[in-house]
Structure 1
Amino acid sequence: MRDILPALNEWYAAGAPFGLATVVAVVGSAPRDPGAAMAVGPGDEVVGSVSGGCVEGAVLELAREVIASGDARLETFGYSDDDAFAVGLTCGGEITLLVRRVSAADDPAFPALAESVAAGRPVTLATVLAGPAPRGATLAVRLYEDPGGDDGGSPSPGSPGSAGSAGSAGSAGPAGPAGPVGALLDSPDSTGPDGARPASSGSAGPDCAVPGSAGPDRGVSGSVEAVGPDQGVSGSLGAVGPDRGVFGSLGAGGLDRAVAADARDGAARGVTGVRHYGPHGERCGDDVTVFLHSFAPAPRLLVFGAADHASAVARVGVFLGYRVTVCDARPPFATPRRFPADVEVVVDWPHRYLSGTTTDERTVICVLTHDPKFDVPLLEEALRRPAAYIGAMGSRRSHDDRLERLRAAGVPERELSRLRSPVGLDLGARTPEEVAVSVAAEIVALRRGGSGVPLSARSGAIHHR
């Protein structure tokens, strides 16, 4: 939903209700992860996607109905063994969507969500899927506290700056959701977007009190059934309660407090998935099903060396949703006009800049200088800090020379093994733009667990869970 927020903001500010469809559960092979969204606005304008095109036509019709009625709907689109095309999801698997109307009257929590995402600060949106609470009711929970607003605190340390026709399997009734949401615990094929198996739901024993009540179990969080890929965001959980960075309501104070506590914990770990609660927020209950969608700050892409290859890598990094910084010690090369407007350009020695900035387990570091006086001290620093990917440009001879210099500097082999060099996949790339595609392909393959082998040369499911 991150990518379509500008359009949603425009419609919301204009007072135009729109329909918002969100993927809340996936079973088996499916093209989009939980949290993917599609919206239908004035004049049937469509933004976003929930299936890569398989069921968008049916979702458009469903959104029209929801806008007219105001009643949120939970629908499952899946694969039929008799006719793979009968229910629209031709790629196989099942997706469950929540479709709800959004307007100032329907969703007062929306502005807090939009402001937090735009500012790159962690926030979680909790939405009721089924149960005695109102379906489609929302609660926006900030991980940080706004020093200039009602929250009365300061940003968390993790804040930066400092995403055809079809039939339906039916809607869930008040007792609980149908399809993948209700089956998440029982289906062996059900996993989160990163391939992790869901944990069992609910708590046994004493963890049944409503958060905020007296007792040793206060603040104990429930389990998450699906885990998203955006890990590594840290920050203070802050105070729990409707007056501390919490906007909107799910219909009951105890439920709001329980969900707010779990949402802050989920935002800290970048978690998106389904939880169950009792009607008043009891942690051992399963009457109310809630979807927690955590918006972690965009991951960082640090590009060192401001040559033409850096400009191309920066552009593709922005396209992939990274917050991009380009750093070079040479002022004539490190000029903002050589890079996209939303890329930060820094003039500094690379190793000095890296030592003074923040990285985490999602950060991508690309070293494109291929000059030992820059590369060696920079990689010495990079290989000793958290990062998802560390790649360096250069020939195999340059790579071997770098390794020897790094060993001489005392970098152990376990850290050297993290280095991806020569950088990128073998695409036969020649131009800076082609090299950027090669680098991006390796980054995506590493993040998603891909093999880099042509799909035509493989068999089996395309989307792994």
Structure 2
Amino acid sequence: MSLRDVREDITRWAGRGDPIAIATLIAVRRSAPRPPGARFAISGTGELAGSISSGCVEGDLHERLTALLGGGAPATVTYGITDEMAAGVGLSCGGEIDVLLDPYDPGDPVWHRLWQLQEAGAPSVLLTGAAASTRSRHLLLEADRSLGTLGSAEFDRRARSRVNEWLDRSDAQVVELVRGDPESAVFVESFVPPPRLVIVGATPIAHALCAMAARTGFEVLVVDPREAFLRPERFPGAAALDARWPDEALEALDLDPRTSVVTLTHDDKLDEPALESALASRCGYVGLLGGRRTQRKRREALRARGLDEATCDRIHGPVGLDIGARTPEQIAVSILAQLIALGRAP
């Protein structure tokens, strides 16, 4: 479970004065049940929250975190099935993981500010020291401010210089702030709003895709100037419905690298301005419904509008993975599968 998932328990324990220790999954090699950023926390009264694995390492982690609360030192622990650990704790999935063990300090202003940002849905980046010299230190980065320190002005400066890069992604990873220097290793977590999917065209495919994508964690916006098709009851999973023309609607949005635009109208009056606006933006994915003839016609129209071949090559068309989809629901599955395969999903 992620930091967001255990936040409520952690703040409740801290509110009553319990000491708290947290295990953070910071690296995965081969396969593992959970991604980096998963948390397992314990309170001084014996309560538990979260999970690092499917249950195969939590017992050992509980003992280590209990020892940490008793005065032990923060540490990084590696688990996995190796020759040395064959008779000990291992991962049934055959992977190997690194877990950071740290005490939680409720008085650290980094945590207070991070909880505020998460409540507001505002983006931020949390850096946690992953080396002996930086362990138990935290640096919180926002687009225009920083809070906390990694204990080194040089490390803080290098981290600050990369904030925009990290705010454009939603993963978690260990990074060496100084290449080749393991003492500069930090665990970087990007807490950003969910990726957006802008669907142009309130069609039956859009109806199915909106429902699936919303359940998968996308913030979905549906754009169509044909208000008769853009009825709220058809798109209950949408975060917003926009009845403006596609170019006007898209130009009003900040189409950043974490935004995907899919055009499903089969109408050149709607497809072309939508594609032109999407391709002129920083959005990370542009998909166009239609077979080869439609793809060719749309590209010709875009080139007539002044777009070059390289820009047109950003279009994924026909949109979706080739799984032999026929029905609107199947096509929606193929589109969502492509977004997931290309790393566009949460």
Provide TM-score, normalisation by structure 2: 0.78
Partner of 1:139: 139
Q: Deviations over 1:306-359 (max 9, x none)?
A: 234324323333344433322121223334444346612222111221123222
Matching of residues 285-364 of structure 1 within 5 Å: 289-340=185-236, 343-364=239-260
Query: How many angstroms apart in 2 are the aligned matches of 1:13 and 1:311?
Result: 40
Which has the higher mean CA deviation after the structures are superposed, 438-447 or 398-407?
398-407
Q: Pick 1 or 2: higher relative contact order, CA cutoff 8 A, min separation 6.
A: 1
Query: How many angstroms apart in 2 are the aligned matches of 1:69 and 1:29?
Result: 33
From 258, 261, 268, the equivalent of 1:365 is 261
Partner of 1:246: 147
Partner of 1:177: none
Amino acid at match of 1:9: E
Q: Deviations over 1:424-444 (max 9, x none)?
A: 113344554443322121112
Checking the alignment, whether the CA contact within 8 Å between 1:122 and 1:267 is kept in structure 2 is: no
Q: Deviations over 1:25-54 (max 9, x none)?
A: 34x42347874212335775543x545666
Partner of 1:199: none
The structure-2 alpha-carbon separation of the partners of 1:287 and 1:400, relative to structure 1 and needing over 3 Å to count, comes to: closer
1:392 aligns with 2:288: yes
The structure-2 alpha-carbon separation of the partners of 1:288 and 1:395, relative to structure 1 and needing over 3 Å to count, comes to: closer
Partner of 2:175: 274
Structure number with higher helix proportion: 2
Amino acid at match of 2:113: A
The structure-2 alpha-carbon separation of the partners of 1:58 and 1:264, relative to structure 1 and needing over 3 Å to count, comes to: same
Query: How many angstroms apart in 2 are the aligned matches of 1:10 and 1:83?
Result: 32
Amino acid at match of 2:7: L
Partner of 1:96: 98
CA positional deviation for 1:142: 2.4
CA positional deviation for 1:412: 2.8
Query: How many angstroms apart in 2 are the aligned matches of 1:85 and 1:355?
Result: 60
Partner of 2:322: 426
The structure-2 alpha-carbon separation of the partners of 1:342 and 1:327, relative to structure 1 and needing over 3 Å to count, comes to: closer
CA positional deviation for 1:369: 1.7
Q: Secondary structure at the match of 1:447?
A: coil
Partner of 1:114: 115
The structure-2 alpha-carbon separation of the partners of 1:94 and 1:310, relative to structure 1 and needing over 3 Å to count, comes to: same
From 397, 405, 413, the equivalent of 2:309 is 413
Checking the alignment, whether the CA contact within 8 Å between 2:201 and 2:264 is kept in structure 1 is: yes
Query: How many angstroms apart in 2 are the aligned matches of 1:8 and 1:55?
Result: 21
Q: Deviations over 1:229-257 (max 9, x none)?
A: xxxxxxxxxxxxxxxx414x55x5xx2x4
Amino acid at match of 2:97: I
The structure-2 alpha-carbon separation of the partners of 1:115 and 1:54, relative to structure 1 and needing over 3 Å to count, comes to: same
The structure-2 alpha-carbon separation of the partners of 1:331 and 1:90, relative to structure 1 and needing over 3 Å to count, comes to: same
Partner of 1:5: 4
Q: Secondary structure at the match of 2:130?
A: strand
CA positional deviation for 1:415: 2.4
Amino acid at match of 1:88: G
The structure-2 alpha-carbon separation of the partners of 1:360 and 1:289, relative to structure 1 and needing over 3 Å to count, comes to: closer
CA positional deviation for 1:127: 2.1
The structure-2 alpha-carbon separation of the partners of 1:128 and 1:300, relative to structure 1 and needing over 3 Å to count, comes to: same
Q: Secondary structure at the match of 2:274?
A: helix
Q: Secondary structure at the match of 1:98?
A: strand
The structure-2 alpha-carbon separation of the partners of 1:399 and 1:25, relative to structure 1 and needing over 3 Å to count, comes to: same
Query: How many angstroms apart in 2 are the aligned matches of 1:348 and 1:357?
Result: 12
Q: Secondary structure at the match of 1:364?
A: strand
Query: How many angstroms apart in 1 are the aligned matches of 2:330 and 2:261?
Result: 18
Which has the higher mean CA deviation after the structures are superposed, 392-401 or 352-361?
392-401
CA positional deviation for 1:98: 0.6
Structure number with higher strand proportion: 2
Checking the alignment, whether the CA contact within 8 Å between 1:34 and 1:273 is kept in structure 2 is: no
Checking the alignment, whether the CA contact within 8 Å between 1:302 and 1:326 is kept in structure 2 is: yes
1:20 aligns with 2:19: no
The structure-2 alpha-carbon separation of the partners of 1:393 and 1:296, relative to structure 1 and needing over 3 Å to count, comes to: same
Query: How many angstroms apart in 1 are the aligned matches of 2:52 and 2:263?
Result: 35
Matching of residues 223-242 of structure 1 within 5 Å: none
Query: How many angstroms apart in 1 are the aligned matches of 2:19 and 2:245?
Result: 50
Unaligned segments of structure 2, at least 5 residues: none
Checking the alignment, whether the CA contact within 8 Å between 1:18 and 1:39 is kept in structure 2 is: no
Partner of 1:374: 270
CA positional deviation for 1:396: 4.2
Query: How many angstroms apart in 2 are the aligned matches of 1:292 and 1:36?
Result: 9
The structure-2 alpha-carbon separation of the partners of 1:267 and 1:55, relative to structure 1 and needing over 3 Å to count, comes to: farther
Amino acid at match of 2:124: V
Provide TM-score, normalisation by structure 1: 0.61
Amino acid at match of 1:73: A
Matching of residues 175-190 of structure 1 within 5 Å: none
Give the length in aligned residue pairs.
Answer: 334
Q: Secondary structure at the match of 2:342?
A: helix
Give the alignment's Cα RMSD to 1 decimal.
Answer: 3.6
Between the aligned residues of both structures, percent identity stands at 35
